[in-house]
Amino acid sequence: MATAHVSGPVSGATTMSSPPEADPRLVACPTCGAPNAGSRTACGRCHGGLADGPAGASGVAEEDPGAEGDAERPSNLLIAMTAIAVLAGVAVLVALLSARGVGPFATDAGDVLGDAELASIAAVRASSERRPSDDMSYVAEHVADGDTSTAWVAEDGGEPWIELELVDVAEVTGLVLWNGNQADDAFARHDRVAALRIETDERAFEVDLLDSRGPLAIDLPEPVAASRVRLVVEEVFSGDEVPGPALSRVVVRVLPEG
């Protein structure tokens, strides 16, 4: 910043003394460029020495609280913005880890099911079942046994389906399912369901699923009276080794009776 000057007093002897006038000059700090009063010996912003300022009697730099406050405000704002950005990044990371079911960020079944009323299942049928291998069976009944370490695995190809028959007709409000084969390290090896068609007695709904471990909640747009719920696999996420879509568990949420 340019330095502004006004003409100084005329030199020469005087017969009367008068109080010194305040120096009206603005002196640019050679370090940070901030304007300072000409009477200062040090910059009010960065505290660097002002070459054009007169030497003070004590040699101690004069402090300008206003200028220092102006310098601190941008710094505080930057700190606050940085903190907000860090918190936002942490929130995104936690959400991603939760979706992937990683470690302590895995979604708990109780958080999803809550106190929802669950339908009693009378029977489970499927379009196909993969043959047992390595002492593991992949029958349809596994989706209703309450154990997420077992899974139904369909034969590869077409649009395989699995159907849950309810003990009584109920007002179905949604599903909670555990996608893929969630037994130990089997999740990545098996195909997982990417898109489903949910068929009831009179209505059908389509839904896309997350490729993640843990329970996934599916809410229907409105309760539907049904005696059965069929899940038709329309698309899959490909696994590393075992073809054919897998589901580990399915529960049907219904409205309480009465």
What is the per-residue pLDDT across 169-190, written as a single tens digit (0 to 9) for each? Answer: 999 999 999 999 999 889 999 9
Q: With 80 as the cut, is the pLDDT of residue 129 above it?
A: yes
Q: With 80 as the cut, is the pLDDT of residue 233 above it?
A: yes
Burial class (CB in 10 A: 0-12, 13-18, 19+), 210: middle
Mean model confidence pLDDT for the chain: 78
Copy the structure tokens of residue 224: 């539907």
- Mean pLDDT, to the nearest integer, of 191-220? 95
As a whole-number percent, the residues of the chain with pLDDT over 70 amount to 70
Cα separation values, 108 from 94, 216, 221, 225, Å = 14, 10, 24, 28
Closest to 140 in 3D by CA, of 149, 148, 130: 130
48-52, 58-62, 113-117, 155-159 — which one is most confidently predicted on average?
155-159
Q: With 70 as the cut, is the pLDDT of residue 97 above it?
A: no
pLDDT recorded at residue 27: 73
Residue 186: how many other CB atoms lie within 10 Å: 19
Q: With 70 as the cut, is the pLDDT of residue 51 above it?
A: no
The pTM is what? Answer: 0.59
Cα separation values, 24 from 2, 28, 53, 127, 128, Å = 15, 13, 12, 93, 93
Residue-wise pLDDT for 209-218, tens only, equals: 999 999 999 9
First to last CA, the chain: 80
pLDDT recorded at residue 20: 47
Cα separation values, 245 from 26, 160, 181, Å = 77, 8, 9
Q: Which residue has the higher pLDDT, 33 or 249?
A: 249
| CB-side neighbour CA atoms (13 Å) of 41 | 9
